[in-house]
Amino acid sequence: MTKPNNYPYQDSFEKYLINKQLSEITIQEYSKTLMDLFNYLSNFNLAYQKDHRVNNLFNRDIENYLAMAQEKRQINNNTYNKILSHINVYFTFLFTHHLNSNLPTIDVESHKHTDKPHINLDWLSNIDNILQNDNLHFYTRMTILLISKGYKVDEILQPNFYKQLSNLKLSHAEKSFIQEFNNFIQPIQEKQNSKDIFLKQRLSSNPHITTPGLHKYLKPSEQILGFSLSPSNLFQSYVVNYIQKNPNLSNLELSNYLNLDLSSVVYYKKLVQQINQN
């Protein structure tokens, strides 16, 4: 009995890789990448969901998947390029074997190679001073505080996230900042008729700030603080710092506490090893 394909043309593609004399481990890596890609497309791509045809895929669909991997899994440039290479080989195979009429990776660019990981951990021990810096916007300071508590940017921008604030363990300085923030946000909440904490300051039918909207507050503060305020970079710092301080926790324990899948935990542990060796 023929085993079902986990992604389109899996059997044909794997035979092609075998004929190219690739190792079994490398072929498994290709399959893992493509299974993850098409699982993502099946769940989040409306065009592909209609009939699951690869002809419906274009460069923006591949870019959306890679953007998700960067934002949700905080992959570095090397991993990004490796995933893109796998996907490109697959779609080139489909195109040259007349199984697909377009090549959706043709305009998707690789990223600059990352030689050594540069993770800034200093801000995590300087939270109190950052929160007291009135030159930083309240949204900037609140983002830094929440990521230092282990929240991802897509979590803190969700409606009703404000309910999580009561669960936070806060220092005296952090409590003082929360009080100042509440004074800042209350008039905006009343204007927008919402209790959420990341709201547009102008009246809007959709008052919630998006990730690009939040970046507009974070970017100007980078010159003041002297380091990247990209939420993915901040969260990466948080994870690395936590793993360094808890070296005896198992992968499963780290996965549960950090709310990361096991593959992400393995990636971060390798990253910590690289940092410790430098």
Domains in the chain and their CATH numbers? 10-96 (1.10.150), 122-227 (no CATH), 241-277 (no CATH)
For residues 52 and 39, the answer to whether their CB atoms sit within 8 Å is no
Higher pLDDT pick, 123 / 5: 123
pLDDT digits (tens, 9 = 90+) for 119-178: 889 999 999 999 999 999 999 999 999 999 999 998 999 999 999 998 899 999 999 999
For residues 274 and 116, the answer to whether their CB atoms sit within 8 Å is yes
Q: Which residues on adjacent β-strands are paired with residue 25?
A: none
Q: Give the Cα separation of 148 and 229 in Å (integer).
A: 12
DSSP, collapsed to helix, strand or coil, labels residue 260 as: coil
Q: Which pLDDT band holds residue 12 (cuts at 50, 70, 90)?
A: very high
For residues 251 and 266, the answer to whether their CB atoms sit within 8 Å is yes
Closest among 165, 246, 224, 76 to 238, alpha carbons compared: 246
